[in-house]
Homo-oligomer: A and B are copies of this chain.
């Protein structure tokens, strides 16, 4: 059994001393992951302390994640090193990562970590030079002080609203602010009544399936985010993969697969960067007009970060037949701090929603709704997006420059560099996409292939997706050098 000299507690309380001793042993590796901690009563007797002391120490360790409990078995040492390592490899933030779906669960580091623990953390992370599959936002870029001020105001000035039940579609000030923002940024004329606020797009897709019907056939872009098709399949509806041509989804394929509802990102397709031209947009609308079952879900995620020229007008803009549901999110622009998305329903669907779904509770807290309403209404959101666009443009330019200055340039071609937050790097290599990605990872560069995003359609190989939003500029030259080494190793 573990032994500590409990008389050496100094000024610490006994439980705190015991907690520190065990924590230290976990961090030093004396206690390994999975080791069972002694049962409380005999352990207390052994140490000459009360059971309460042991209980309190275990509770503290549990809270901080150093140990975990198994029902009817006891307490065990948590796998902290492994978790830290994982989080170093995959400090990812958003949905662009889906081929690597298993996400790292980062353990929350207690405030008072001893130096060795911090070293462990940095060692695990230092292996990675650059992660081009992550699109985590920059901490330094988040408007913490503005956000803090607004939250304080909401807490002081809107206590009644904070405690009132939110309408199912979201509080009115937020819906008004979103409507106004959509008018300004996307030239969309929508009434607050058409807007449904929800906790993330995943949730809103589920709500849409309930609204449009489980008996409809849904279609997603191929290539595209695999997450979207996964969600439709988990919702137990038919989900077809619709191949793209250079203008976006193929109408003939929509007809052939008998798709009713097609889920698109016409202004900013990921990962190809395709922008669907107006002609195809009208073709899509006339496809939808042919049956009352047909709808288009316009997923406008990321459209704020188009790097060149004006944002592409939304499909919803030219929809006169009430066929387009527009969806967007604040989670990209404000990161995981805030989980707020929204959809704009055509009037007829909005009426159906209000009639049949008003019993639902809005999934976003009043607090975040009211804070976000102020944040948008007072102009901070627009400023933040502009600032972030410049920030990311700078990153993109740094990466393009790093490529041009490296030896990789003779083996690489860049495309879709205006698409926003990523571009496509075509590399002249004999390696398969999988081999290339693995070799790059060995050298500390995490990179994903375009072909990973194809499900049924035939992908073209040797194209890689460069998400640059999370890669510090100073790492870029070395990362490009490493990619060159991979290319060179085989040629």
Contact = CB atoms under 8 A, between A and B. Distances in A.
Tell me how many chains of this kind the complex includes. Answer: 2
A203 B111 contact: no
A36 interface: no
Contacts of A206: 206
B367 A71 contact: no
Interface stretch (A96-104, A293-301, A406-414): A96-104
A337 B108 contact: no
B363 A202 contact: yes
A63 B161 CA distance: 16
A70 interface: yes
B165 A142 contact: no
Given A62-B179, A148-B155, A363-B199, A139 B165 contact: no
Interface in A150-188: 151-152, 155, 157, 159-168, 171-173, 176-177, 179-180, 183
Interface residues of A, number: 96
A389 interface: no
Given A165-B103, A203-B199, A157 B364 contact: no
A52 to B, nearest CB: 14
A66 to B, nearest CB: 10
A49 interface: no
A101 B338 contact: no
Nearest to A166: B336
A62 B182 CA distance: 13
B65 A361 contact: no
A199 B340 CA distance: 11
Interface string A360-371: 111111111000
Given A163-B142, A165-B94, A199-B199, A364 B335 contact: no
A434 B368 CA distance: 39
Given A167-B103, A203-B203, A359 B230 contact: yes
A335 to B, nearest CB: 5
Interface string A173-214: 100110110010000011111000001101100100010001
Given A102-B358, A364-B199, A367-B338, A159 B179 contact: no
A108 to B, nearest CB: 4
A235 interface: yes
A124 to B, nearest CB: 15
A146 to B, nearest CB: 11
A176 B65 contact: yes
A313 interface: no
Given A148-B152, A159-B144, A106 B164 contact: yes
A438 interface: no
B162 A336 contact: yes
B68 A191 contact: yes
Contacts of A102: 358
Contact of A202 (B162, B200, B336, B361): B361
A43 interface: no
Interface in A225-257: 226-227, 230-231, 234-236
B337 A364 contact: no
Nearest to A377: B63
Nearest to A339: B365
A131 B466 CA distance: 58
A193 B189 CA distance: 45
Contact of A173 (B108, B144, B164): B108
Interface of A: 59, 62-65, 68-72, 91-95, 98, 101-108, 111, 136-139, 142, 144, 147-148, 151-152, 155, 157, 159-168, 171-173, 176-177, 179-180, 183, 189-193, 199-200, 202-203, 206, 210, 214, 226-227, 230-231, 234-236, 331, 335-340, 347, 356-368, 377
Given A68-B191, A210-B236, 11 more contacts: A63-B377, A64-B176, A65-B173, A93-B163, A108-B171, A108-B172, A163-B336, A203-B203, A231-B359, A336-B366, A363-B363
